[in-house]
Structure 1
Amino acid sequence: MNRQVIQTDQAPAPVGPYNQAIAASGQFVFVAGQIPLDPKSGEIVGAAEVEVQTHQAIANMTAILKAAGARLDQVVKTTIFLKDMNDFGKVNGVYAQYFDAETAPARACVEVARLPKDVLVEIECIAVI
């Protein structure tokens, strides 16, 4: 794996034990946060249903992974952003349909004040290819 620390004095220096950026190539694909947009219409799917929105966000993520030559079982890390942490159980129920508990990727789940287009869930991932 190629790994390179990226630093510039044109941005603030880190205030803790981390770098401004790490560049990695050849083995990872980093999928940007996916929200529940229908790829054909561009419309939000499941306006008020977090389960429906979670399925669509994962479908979008899966399509991007496929385009990169990867699959869900190659995902090593996900981050889930929720509008309401009370939806955690519902999202977990959907998530478990795609990721087996024994081999599931590492994950973080955080509640945020607002998501793009006021959706209920956004999911990003890192996969090894």
Structure 2
Amino acid sequence: MKIGLMNLALVSAGLLCATSVWAEPVRKNSYGIWSKAIFADTSTVDDGSVRFIFVAGMAAEDPDDGHIQFKGDFAGQCRMAYRKIHDALQAQHASMNDIVRTTAYLTDMRDKDAYQKCQREAIGTAEMPPHTLLGVSNLAWPGMLVEVEVTAITPRKKTSVP
């Protein structure tokens, strides 16, 4: 019993020492013009070795005023959503190649083939990431037909050495 408690104490002490060397993850949110009071467009978490970039659901909201663009035009809305994802990743020094997970929401599953075509065009030559495609009855704003969110991972940004 005494040896078991001593081993437990040593393991616990080792874990405490190990966790003190790890850096606390740093989180930074980036906001769009019209959506700042509602949600962040991206949240970046740097754990010291890699950066996780969480891109909020992107859709066909105008970046300046939030009005839905391409009403009734699924392909137009999908292209705009992926263009906004591209821009959000680029602002975080990442690319479509860095996407490791995608979730898409469609208000009409009959648009599935059009969505897959749009996604392939947007991803280009990058490897297709894991993907969840869901049919939903409504999205956040009337007139939205598709919304796409992604997670990307990049190596930690290197700092220059003098």
The alignment's TM-score, normalised by the length of structure 1, stands at 0.76
Map of 1:121 onto structure 2: 146
Measure, in 2, the Cα distance between the counterparts of 1:2 and 1:48.
48
> How far is 1:52 from its partner?
0.4
Q: Percent identity?
A: 26
Q: Does residue 1:28 correspond to 2:52, yes or no?
A: yes
> 1:70 deviation in Å?
0.6
Cα gap change, 1:35 to 1:2, in 2 (>3 Å)? farther
Between structures 1 and 2, the one with greater helix share? 2
Partner of 1:73: 97
| More strand per residue | 1
Relative contact order (alpha carbons < 8 A, sep ≥ 6): 1 or 2 greater?
1
Match of 1:48 among 72, 76, 90: 72
* Contact 1:80–1:122 under 8 Å retained in 2: yes
CA shift in 2, pair 1:2/1:36, >3 Å:
farther
Unaligned runs of 5+ residues in structure 2 are: 1-21, 26-44, 155-162
Gaps of 5+ in 1: 5-22
Could you tell me which amino acid in structure 2 is paired with residue 36 of structure 1?
A: A
Shift of 1:24: 7.0
Structure 2 residue identity aligned to 1:27: R
TM-score (norm 2): 0.61
Superposition RMSD in Å: 2.4
Name the amino acid aligned to 2:56. A
> How many correspondences in the alignment?
111
